[in-house]
Amino acid sequence: MTPLKLIETTPGAFSLLLNAGTTQVDELVEHLGHEPNGSFWEGVARFLVSTEAENLEGRFSYDPEGGMFCAYGNDRTALQDLGDLMSIVARDGDRMRKLIMTAEAAGFDFDD
């Protein structure tokens, strides 16, 4: 799930974390007109859930900050599944380019 990390913050509570600015696609994201900050990655997560993993909808919450993406909740499996989806995008420039282009064509706002 690199570069994301899934941690148990308290018994039964989990956080999925990504330090913004540490992925293999950061330069590409900037080239495509976005800032690869925590809010951008929340947008990536929301878009992935809405288009590829609707079964994850409502199973966790988001709490990004400028330098970090965070999703949290009690459903470890849902967060693991989100992390698996996001890690592919965070490591594959072609996949990220396609995601951004598809999202923008659909009028999606990454809110970065």
* Residue 112 resides in a domain: no
How far is Cα 58 from Cα 66, in angstroms, rounded to an integer? Answer: 23
How far is Cα 7 from Cα 98, in angstroms, rounded to an integer? Answer: 29
* Residue 111 resides in a domain: no
- Give the length of the chain: 112
* Residue 42 resides in a domain: yes
* Residue 110 resides in a domain: no
* Residue 14 resides in a domain: yes
Q: How many domains does the chain have?
A: 1
The two three-digit tokens of residue 43, written as one number: 């947008």
* Residue 82 resides in a domain: yes
* Residue 11 resides in a domain: yes
* Residue 10 resides in a domain: yes
* Cβ-Cβ contacts under 8 Å for 5 (sequence gap 6 or more): 16, 17, 18
CATH of the domain at 16: 3.30.1370
Work out the angle between the directed axes of helices 76-91 and 93-105 (0-180°, nearest 10): 100
How confident is residue 17, by pLDDT bands cut at 50, 70 and 90?
very high
> Where in the sequence is the domain holding 92, given as residue range(s)?
5-105
Whole-structure pTM value: 0.95
Task: Let me know if 27 is exposed, middle or buried by CB neighbors in 10 A (0-12, 13-18, 19+).
Answer: exposed
pLDDT digits (tens, 9 = 90+) for 32-43: 999 999 999 999
pLDDT digits (tens, 9 = 90+) for 73-106: 999 999 999 999 999 999 999 999 999 999 999 9
